[in-house]
Amino acid sequence: MAVIPDAGPAAWLDELRRRCAEHVHGFVTERVREHFTGRAAGTPASTALPEFVAGGKFLRPLFAYTGWCCGKPDDEAALRSAAALELLHCFALAQDDVMDGSERRRGRPALHVRFARWHEAESLGGSAERFGESAAILAGDLFLVWSEQLLRSSGLPAGILARGWPIYDHLRSELAVGQLGDLVNEARALPAWGDVLDVVRRKSGNYTVRRPLEFGAALAGCDEQVVHALGTYGGLVGEAFQFRDDLLGAFGDPAVTGKPVGDDLRERKATTVVVLAAELADRGQRAELAGLLDLDVVDTAAVERWQRLITATGARDQLEKLIDERVHHALEVTDLADLPHQPADALTTLALRCTERVR
């Protein structure tokens, strides 16, 4: 174990992230070697897939492993189990980017774009775009399969894994159903605040923070009081995380987000920022908003009009306030739960890391 027990929470989390990245990169490299033979071997999958899974922030594994550490000491098999959640996240990213038509991910071309470019470079017949989308969907399917396989073969005894399966199963279905809810919301002119919050809870709140924490705590056999505190923290920080994500999607610096400025606005996503702006808008602002929603193409000038309008309604300030309140409340809850100091400190660090403006 390379972890220094007395390291500060940031160093502890960075070291865990490094080990998680090693686990998923190694596992996916093995799977790619096993399966990408024959016709599929020539595609960029063999290099793109291992690279893709190791390139993230590993928030979900870090939350899961923090949950584990609330009940049990450092354990490499438990960390591998936690790392399985990163592959689940990669599944979601690969497929969501196709569905949302997102061209970039983590400052690089999205997976479907990489596959499409390969198709073009090889001068294959048919639509390169269509091929890229299908290949990225299949890459996502493989990540979904491999996540479960990594978890099952993590090295944790079956009896311990049995405590985690119900949450893992729930999380997987909730993620896909949440994405469907998101598509329904996007498809409507503008959903109500309550509908957006419902999807936020399922897709991000639960999936990014709450379920991973509960999953780790369940594996570790934590008592009910701890699980309850982690669940409350997870719900609050998860929502705050999504609010920040939506603010970054509307106002964020491309250097930070790895995406074009105002990407969510260009894609006409019905995010919390946009829906809250609609709820807070006065009559004149509402008319201007309707005009923006009707645009066929959202260019840079339109993005800037969107941004000014959202700010003018007060939605931006209001979301900042909601973020602060949620983080504050979450930290109060975990302070009272009498957790071991290392995971307790990590929860504070992670809550801030998830919701900070320059994330």
Residues that bind a copy of itself (CB under 8 A): 31, 34-36, 38-40, 42-43, 45, 91, 95, 98-99, 119, 124-126, 130-131, 134-135, 137-138, 140-142, 144-146, 148-149, 152, 158, 165, 169, 172-174, 176-181, 183-189, 191, 195, 198-199, 202, 268
- Rounded to a whole number of angstroms, the minimum distance from the CB of residue 94 to a copy of itself is 11
- Rounded to a whole number of angstroms, the minimum distance from the CB of residue 358 to a copy of itself is 32
Pairing of strands 108-109, 104-105: antiparallel
Q: Of 196, 233, 181, whose CA–CA distance to 344 is shortest?
A: 233
Cα within 13 Å of Cα(40), Cβ side: 14
Asked whether the beta carbons of 87 and 31 are under 8 A apart, the reply is no
Closer CB to a copy of itself, 183 or 256, in the complex: 183
Closer CB to a copy of itself, 106 or 268, in the complex: 268
Closer CB to a copy of itself, 189 or 255, in the complex: 189
Closer CB to a copy of itself, 12 or 168, in the complex: 168
In the numeric block, which tokens belong to residue 69? 């550490």
Cα within 13 Å of Cα(173), Cβ side: 5
Q: One-letter amino acid identity for 319? A: L
Q: Dmax of the chain from CA atoms?
A: 62
Closer CB to a copy of itself, 51 or 198, in the complex: 198
Q: Of 99, 130, 92, whose CA–CA distance to 269 is shortest?
A: 99
Residue 359 to residue 354: CA distance in whole angstroms: 7
- Rounded to a whole number of angstroms, the minimum distance from the CB of residue 177 to a copy of itself is 5
Asked whether the beta carbons of 272 and 242 are under 8 A apart, the reply is yes
- Rounded to a whole number of angstroms, the minimum distance from the CB of residue 223 to a copy of itself is 26
- Rounded to a whole number of angstroms, the minimum distance from the CB of residue 93 to a copy of itself is 13
Phi and psi, residue 108, nearest 5° = -130, 170
Closer CB to a copy of itself, 3 or 138, in the complex: 138
- Rounded to a whole number of angstroms, the minimum distance from the CB of residue 251 to a copy of itself is 24
- Rounded to a whole number of angstroms, the minimum distance from the CB of residue 191 to a copy of itself is 8
Closer CB to a copy of itself, 31 or 244, in the complex: 31
Phi-psi region of 166 (alpha: psi -120 to 50; beta: other; left: phi over 0): alpha
Phi-psi region of 262 (alpha: psi -120 to 50; beta: other; left: phi over 0): left
